[in-house]
Amino acid sequence: MIIEDKNLDLRVGVEICEDVWAPIPPSSFLCINGANIILNLSASNEVVAKSDYRRELIKGQSARCICGYIYASASVHESTTDLVFSGDLLICENGSLLNSSQRFKRESQIIYSYIDIDRLNSERQINKTFIDSLKISNIKPQTVYINFNKINIEGFDRYISKTPFIPSNKQEIDIRCNEIFNIQVAGLSKRFEHTGLKKAVIGISGGLDSTLALLVTYKTFKELNIPSQNIIAITMPGFGTTDRTYTNAVNLIKSLGCTLMEINIKDACLQHFKDIGHDKDIHDLTYENTQARERTQILMDIANKIGGIVVGTGDLSELALGWCTYNGDHMSMYAVNASIPKTLIKFLVNWYAEKTEDKKTQDILKDILDTPISPELLPPDKEGNIKQKQKMQ
């Protein structure tokens, strides 16, 4: 049976205790028939390490069913000579634990959390496997329609992480960064194996994005036994380039043993301003985007010249927010950072810096990490420092 409130788009299903331990839990059938919240009234006794398994089971079922899962086990006062209960309470949402109780408390406990039903419904609509599951189910549960009262939300205390892709535990961060970095390397390696090419072209600015892209490319070439000299790393100083980022870019390229090219884009941009009738003293969108497009043209043309591919540096945050230049820095032949948000980029570069045994490379990476994030498309201030900065919340 499903209890539905059409006004809230809320559909609640119920299963009892060991139902969730079954090979195909009833909640699976309830969810593919529309239930987005599952309640479980349980009497799960305690044995050593069972609580960890139970928690992972509930989290896993909430992920599999793309639902909210609310679990409540019998309290300590229902324990017997043979069985001990802990009053375990869990609230999960699509694979994440939102809240849990303290087990073995003598006093009664109530836990609560907000479950994002709209997000769950949206995730289901784009998950083709979830939708297709309904085709193989002959179970059609009865639906009871009701209207819930007192549904006004007076406050919001659900914790929303600013860095959802970054674990809070240092050991987990190390594992996660290692996995992400290796995924990047594996993807780029496949691209080179598929094309049969042996050279990469990449623009290096001295910022975080291009730094990570260069590190990934460097590791990829080591995995494929391609000399690092085949990585053509190009620094392209423009109107906003500062000594700090320029020096870091050059030093990083040299420390990794890549081939350094320097092409100053100022004259080319000034000629373009003249061609289109743009005043070089007007620092508007045209002024900024001209530099990004000039750099992309250089990278693409050199890649064509040497028979290589342009490795893109833009990250997920820039692409999602449109903080990039159309027909400019968002273009490449393979973008290794395209699915990584800016906050995670910083953690990955820091992780690499801590892992590398090359002290020189480590020092360069640490200074890059301390450098303000900027596209450096506007001239620096009077002291030669970065004027155009991107804030990281």
Give per-residue pLDDT as tens, 169-228.
Answer: 888 889 999 999 999 999 999 999 999 999 999 999 999 999 999 999 999 999 999 999
Comparing 2-145 with 170-370, is the CATH topology the same?
Answer: no
CB 10 within 8 A of CB 4: yes
Amino acid at 326: Y
Structure tokens at 139: 């179970």
Q: Name the band, by pLDDT with cuts 50, 70 and 90, for residue 390.
A: low
DSSP 143: E
Among candidate residues 20, 1, 247, the one with its CA nearest the CA of residue 141: 1
3-state SS, residue 167: coil
CATH number of the structural domain 2-145: 3.60.110.10
Among the listed residues 289, 302, 300, the one whose alpha carbon sits nearest the alpha carbon of residue 333: 300
Tokens 């990476």 belong to which residue?
365
350: phi > 0 → left, psi -120 to 50 → alpha, else beta; which? alpha
Residue written as token pair 């730094």 = 211
Domain ranges of the chain: 2-145, 170-370
Average pLDDT, the chain: 91
Q: Express each pLDDT in 246-265 by its tens digit.
A: 999 999 999 999 999 999 99
H helix or E strand, kind and range, residue 126: helix 117-126
Please state which of the ranges 41-45, 186-190, 363-367 shows the lowest mean pLDDT.
Answer: 41-45
CB-based contacts of 179, cutoff 8 Å, min separation 6: none
CATH fold group of domain 170-370 = Rossmann fold (3.40.50)
What single-letter DSSP state applies at residue 76?
Answer: G
What backbone phi and psi angles, to 5 degrees, belong to 92?
Answer: -120, 155
Q: In what order do the strands lie in the sheet with 259-262?
A: 259-262, 231-235, 200-203, 309-312, 334-335
Which pTM was predicted? 0.79
264 by DSSP, 3-state: which? coil
What value does the CA radius of gyration of the chain take, rounded to a whole number of Å?
27
